[in-house]
């Protein structure tokens, strides 16, 4: 009975990390990290640069071993045993420059157990589907950075893996290719694959992920659905009134901010009706009143701390500038 329950749990969970710790010398990169990724879901690993996202993914893939703790990948405690069912796009992209695009994809499939001929055959189809058919027999060194990145991504899914791990997959891509990548991730998830991706661009995670883990300083600060993350925060009220002062002011909570002529504060626990009643009865003269649901970014700021959010903001800006420079 217990055994059956265990099997069911493993089938439901594609990846499970329990108390993972990783030390590099005296530096603790991952500090007791635990989370579970449901099978068939899109799971986002969020965190500022240096939070331990890449190390966590490398631990899950078996590239490095943990100092302590356990990991289960598709039911295997040794991740490399599941390698044939896993696809991986590392943060630092790389391909053999002299290989043709189809050979590179075929080679990556062959590393994961797919026969080379079948891999090349699938590569032709995948490249054609992603408008790279005419580049199939051209060496990687002749492809643009975005094209090469797409080739590598196709190489990581050519063997139709059950688990796809993408480390910062959107970095280095222009807006059109980012959109295409989002579509590809959705398609793979619809076909039943589990997707784990790390990102420092919260908007991607917000659009794609069903669940996220927010990592800060090597620890999981939050693990749950995007809605649960947002649910950690009260909705935000933005209020603009004609009257500057009056009895209605007693309805404004103590921590409210007055920014650019409007009041900004968390929606009180008793909901919007008492607030509205107090404002009307107090003759506030409501000009505008908006109740906003907090975004994942707000949740991230609250959960990981404003310092981490600022780092992510800086990283995003820096990346954007670098990408813009690269495109020029």
Partner 1 sequence: MTRLLHPALVIARRDFTATVYSKTFIFFLLGPLFPLLLGGLFGGIGAQVASRTDQPIIAVAASEADYARIAAARGELAGALGKANLIQLRRVPVEADPAAQARRLLAGSTPVAAVLSGGLTAPRLSGALTADGRELAQVKLILAAARAPATPAPRVSLTAAKRSPARLAQNRALTGQVGQMILFFLSILLSGMLLSQLIEEKSNKIIEVIAAAVPIDALFLGKLFAMLAASLLGILVWFGAGALLIGALASGGLGMLPPPAVGWPAFLVLAVAYFAMNYLLLGGLFLTIGAQAATPREVQILSMPVTFAQVLVFGFASTSVGAPDANLGLAAAIFPWSSPMAMLARAAELPALWPHLAALAWQALWVALILNIGARLFRKLVLKSGPPTRWWRRRVSS
Binding stretches for partner 1 (CB under 8 A) = 23-27, 29, 54-55, 58, 61-65, 80, 83, 86, 88, 90, 92-99, 107-108, 110-113, 116, 152, 155-156
| Distance between CA atoms of residues 301 and 297, nearest Å | 6
For 219, the token pair is 């620890």
Which CB atom, from 25 or from 255, has the smaller least distance to partner 1?
A: 25
What's the closest the beta carbon of residue 278 comes to partner 1, in angstroms? 56
Minimum CB distance to partner 1, residue 261 (Å) = 49
Q: What does the alpha-carbon distance between residue 17 and residue 314 come to, in Å, rounded to a whole number? A: 29
Specify whether the CB–CB gap between 176 and 153 falls below 8 A: no
Bridge partner list, 194: 163
CB neighbour class for 186 (10 Å; exposed up to 12, middle 13-18, buried from 19): middle
Q: Per DSSP, what are the bridge partners of residue 44?
A: 197, 212
The H-assigned helical ranges of 113-174 are: 116-129, 145-157
* Shortest spacing between CB 107 and partner 1, in angstroms: 6
Q: Which is nearer to partner 1, 65 or 183 (CB)?
A: 65
Please measure the distance between the N-terminal and C-terminal CA atoms of the chain and give it in whole angstroms: 62
The residue (of 107 and 170) whose beta carbon lies closer to partner 1 is 107
Per-residue tokens: 209: 């992920």
* CB closer to partner 1 out of 64 and 321: 64
Judged by CB, which is closer to partner 1: 44, or 87? 87
For residue 79, the minimal CB distance to partner 1 (Å) is 8
Task: Give the shortest CB-44-to-partner 1 separation in angstroms.
Answer: 19
């Amino acid at each position: 009975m217990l055994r059956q329950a265990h099997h069911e749990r493993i089938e439901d969970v594609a990846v499970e990390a329990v108390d993972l710790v990783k030390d590099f010398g005296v530096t603790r990169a991952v500090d007791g990290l635990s989370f579970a990724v449901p099978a068939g879901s899109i799971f986002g690993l969020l965190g500022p640069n240096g939070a331990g996202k890449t190390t966590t993914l490398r631990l899950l893939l078996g590239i490095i071993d943990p100092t302590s703790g356990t990991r289960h990948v598709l039911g295997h405690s040794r991740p490399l045993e599941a390698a044939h069912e896993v696809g991986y796009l590392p943060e630092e992209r790389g391909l053999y420059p002299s290989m043709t695009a189809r050979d590179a994809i075929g080679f990556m499939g062959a590393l994961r157990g797919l026969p080379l001929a079948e891999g090349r055959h699938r590569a032709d189809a995948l490249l054609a589907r992603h408008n790279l058919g005419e580049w199939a027999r051209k060496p990687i060194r002749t492809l643009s950075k975005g094209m090469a990145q797409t080739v590598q991504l196709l190489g990581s899914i050519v063997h139709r893996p059950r688990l796809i791990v993408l480390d910062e997959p959107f970095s280095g891509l222009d807006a059109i290719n980012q959109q295409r990548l989002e579509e590809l991730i959705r398609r793979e998830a619809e076909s039943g694959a589990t997707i784990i991706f790390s990102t420092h661009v919260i908007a991607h995670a917000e659009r794609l992920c069903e669940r996220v883990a927010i990592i800060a300083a090597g620890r999981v600060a939050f693990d749950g659905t995007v809605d649960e993350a947002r649910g950690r925060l009260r909705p935000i009220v933005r209020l603009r009134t004609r009257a500057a002062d009056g009895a209605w002011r007693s309805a404004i909570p103590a921590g409210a901010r007055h920014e650019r002529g409007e009041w900004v504060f968390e929606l009180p626990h008793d909901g919007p009706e008492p607030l509205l009643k107090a404002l009307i009865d107090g003759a506030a003269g409501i000009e505008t009143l908006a109740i906003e649901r907090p975004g994942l970014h707000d949740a991230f700021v609250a959960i990981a701390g404003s310092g981490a959010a600022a780092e992510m903001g800086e990283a995003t800006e820096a990346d954007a500038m670098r990408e813009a420079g690269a495109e020029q």
